[in-house]
Amino acid sequence: MSRFIPVILLVLNLSVVAVQAAAEGAGALLHILNTDQSDAKRLEALRALEKTGDIDAPQILRSICDISPVIRAEAVRLGTRIAAADPELELRLVALANDLTSEVKVQMLKSLPYFPSVRAAAAFQKLLAEALVSKDAKLRAQAEALRKSSKGADPQ
């Protein structure tokens, strides 16, 4: 048994190092997401956090306040999956139906049908009505596609 102790300790040490490396990787991605000036780099970091499973409601709440509409729209997409279990997150995401940018509004049209609240349903109906007469072709096209379908689009 004593000859296995160094092997067991080595395995345990490697496990701790692997956990630390994973945490540092998430930390580096969070640093990029929260500080980098490049929208493309922040978007890449947000998507990498999604792939690693390190994205959570507090980070989504920070990302929906980002200056970039692309980041806000991606945060809405990611938040759609967990909003039903987090009333604060759902409330803040639903408020983005009033965002001034077409990128966020298009994503909101895709996401709002998946939120369970009456507030979300009302925001969806209002946004849909506005989008159907919008001058923005992409927003109007999304609204027309949703109007034709009875249950909405996949939030992804």
Q: What is the pLDDT of residues 124-152, one digit of tens each?
A: 999 999 999 999 999 999 999 998 885 54
Count Cβ atoms below 10 Å from residue 94 Cβ, excluding itself: 22
What DSSP state is assigned to residue 82? Answer: T
pLDDT tens digits, one per residue of 61-82: 999 999 999 999 999 999 998 9
Q: What is the pTM of this model?
A: 0.78
110's tokens: 């895709």
